[in-house]
A and B are shown apart, each in its own frame.
Chain A
């Protein structure tokens, strides 16, 4: 009997040891995210790694077998609306959000849900463009989500239980969070939305364990700070410059990079003279203190809503014969840029779509403005030559891939507007250019299953850009425009989608379409890939469904 008890104790001890070890292995310390490319079976941060290349080293799915992909499972969203969440995958567990602010943990092999944590945003929250949420961050054993009512929430990764919930911005002044947070070292970094409501934007970091604020950097300098004189009088107090897409991080330089949104009011630049820094800029911030190390402004005194909230894509490349710590950026204003991410120096900038608001860039990358006469169209239009959807950079091909909107224009109608708290602060309106009056045009989002416009009002074009020249090596056009991001793999596959609901696999070297499937709903986020038990999966959200594919098991 004593022997049996001892044996039982031994078994329990071994089980506990195994369980403890599993938990220890399953944690996501900063070092794992830092070295995310070394474990491509997981997708540990918004863009797959701190450099935001959205490039996976997985290569089980290849150009030769991609047409054999089979649907493994589908998860249906319970909430209607554009589903922009980016999944995070940790050791076979997928974490993603559902509108408006629900976190889910699910089995990445079956799609079955372990738990949900539901935050109900304050009903007075004001959102410009839908109850969007782009996903979570994971650090240690905690999952983090920003909310529409401008809070940052931490929940236990295993149980889904709430750990803390802090205010990031004042919901009564229309501050909000739609981006996925970025976990860097022991901090969680987020930015605030509300650029159409007269906020003053900022990036803010919190202690990952306690939720205490660690640093806060305004995206509009206050009195006495450098570049405050890029605003007149009190325009800076309600000048927008929101931050609504996740940034990137260079651990060697200890710099975290953030794209900054439009100045407010959006369309009446005459109402806010000056460059309006740091709207429409990229900010390089010290990751420990938030200090601004450098900035580069893409669109001074913007009159067209050209948010620079695109993902800063980082790569160490050989550029025109010399090594360069590059930042690549296809901007909403229609220009593709290469910057030196150590200094912010402008290296290259070229238009990638039709541009008429500017005749070019000077030697410092500053645009030469050519505002169009009243009533005449501006290219690119209000949604830009591209927008927030994540690009990809493949170190194998050396190409930068992104969705562009070709031949899409807008007629702006600026108006003087006084700031009133809780009221949209946009300074006028706009119409999309149509070939004849009342003919169908592209909407801001997909609102109808029928496309009956002509290519004259615009179309989608995936561009494979060579950062050496600023010229596309190839393009892949779609009839409709695309809000889809990109994913590239070590087998030189490029996965993407579009508003039509097609999910595409394309040869990343040639642009040849290798496989596609109609998933039925608009694809408005980038695909991700991961591996569990030796099987590579690709997941993509289309409409209200998350679909996961793999080769036949």
Chain B
């Protein structure tokens, strides 16, 4: 949330002591002065997917790994 009460949601691309560069939810490149930011929140969601596998593929992989027990 900026001092102008604009809410910007996006992914951080770059940061320094005075500014932060993001790609916002409408895929616009925005450079924001930290002094213009009133409040901010960091999402718990990682910006990068931990895996490209689908949930079914992950389940298959875990199932296979479990079969290795004791070997």
Residues of A at under 8 Å CB distance from B? 436, 449-452, 477-480, 498, 500, 502, 516
Contacts and interface: CB of A to CB of B under 8 A. Distances in A.
B14 interface: yes
Contact of A479 (B13, B15, B46): B15
25 contacts: A436-B46, A449-B14, A450-B13, A450-B14, A451-B14, A451-B15, A451-B16, A452-B12, A452-B13, A452-B14, A452-B15, A477-B17, A478-B16, A478-B17, A479-B15, A479-B16, A479-B17, A480-B16, A480-B17, A498-B17, A500-B16, A500-B17, A502-B17, A502-B18, A516-B18
B32 to A, nearest CB: 14
Query: What 10 pairs across the A-B complex have the smallest Cβ distances?
Result: A500-B16, A479-B17, A450-B14, A478-B17, A479-B16, A451-B15, A479-B15, A451-B14, A452-B14, A500-B17
Given A436-B46, A500-B17, 19 more contacts: A449-B14, A450-B13, A451-B14, A451-B15, A452-B13, A452-B14, A452-B15, A477-B17, A478-B16, A478-B17, A479-B15, A479-B16, A479-B17, A480-B17, A498-B17, A500-B16, A502-B16, A502-B18, A516-B18
A498 B18 CA distance: 13
A502 B18 CA distance: 9
A502 B12 CA distance: 20
Contacts of A436: 46
A451 B17 CA distance: 10
B43 to A, nearest CB: 13
Residue from A479, A498, A502, A516 whose CB has the most chain B CB atoms within 10 Å: A479
Contacts of A478: 16-17
A451 B14 CA distance: 5
Interface string B43-65: 00010000000000000000000
Interface residues of B, number: 8
Residue from A477, A500, A516 whose CB has the most chain B CB atoms within 10 Å: A500
Nearest to A460: B17
A375 B14 CA distance: 30
A436 B50 CA distance: 10
Contacts of B16: 451, 478-480, 500, 502
Interface of B: 12-18, 46
Nearest to B11: A452
Nearest to B20: A479
B41 to A, nearest CB: 14
Nearest to A500: B16
Contacts of A479: 15-17
A452 B14 CA distance: 5
Contacts of A480: 16-17
Contacts of A498: 17
Nearest to B42: A454
Residue from B15, B17, B18 whose CB has the most chain A CB atoms within 10 Å: B17
A478 B14 CA distance: 14
A451 B13 CA distance: 8
Contacts of A450: 13-14
A450 B16 CA distance: 9
Nearest to B50: A436
B15 to A, nearest CB: 5
Contacts of B18: 502, 516
Contacts of B46: 436
Contacts of A477: 17
A536 to B, nearest CB: 26
Nearest to B47: A452
A53 B15 CA distance: 33
A522 to B, nearest CB: 12
Residue from B12, B13, B18, B46 whose CB has the most chain A CB atoms within 10 Å: B18
A516 B14 CA distance: 19
B63 to A, nearest CB: 23
A450 B15 CA distance: 7
A297 B15 CA distance: 39
B30 to A, nearest CB: 15
A477 B16 CA distance: 11
Residue from B12, B15, B46 whose CB has the most chain A CB atoms within 10 Å: B15
B50 to A, nearest CB: 8
A500 B16 CA distance: 7
A502 B16 CA distance: 10
A478 B15 CA distance: 11
Contacts of B13: 450, 452
Nearest to B21: A450
Nearest to B16: A500
B17 to A, nearest CB: 5
A527 to B, nearest CB: 18
A480 B20 CA distance: 12
Contacts of A500: 16-17
B35 to A, nearest CB: 11
Residue from B13, B14, B15, B16 whose CB has the most chain A CB atoms within 10 Å: B16
B14 to A, nearest CB: 5
A479 B15 CA distance: 8
A465 B13 CA distance: 34
B18 to A, nearest CB: 7
A478 B12 CA distance: 17
A479 B13 CA distance: 14
A449 B13 CA distance: 11
A500 B21 CA distance: 14
Nearest to B12: A452
Nearest to A449: B14
B38 to A, nearest CB: 19
Nearest to A482: B17
A456 B17 CA distance: 15
A495 to B, nearest CB: 16
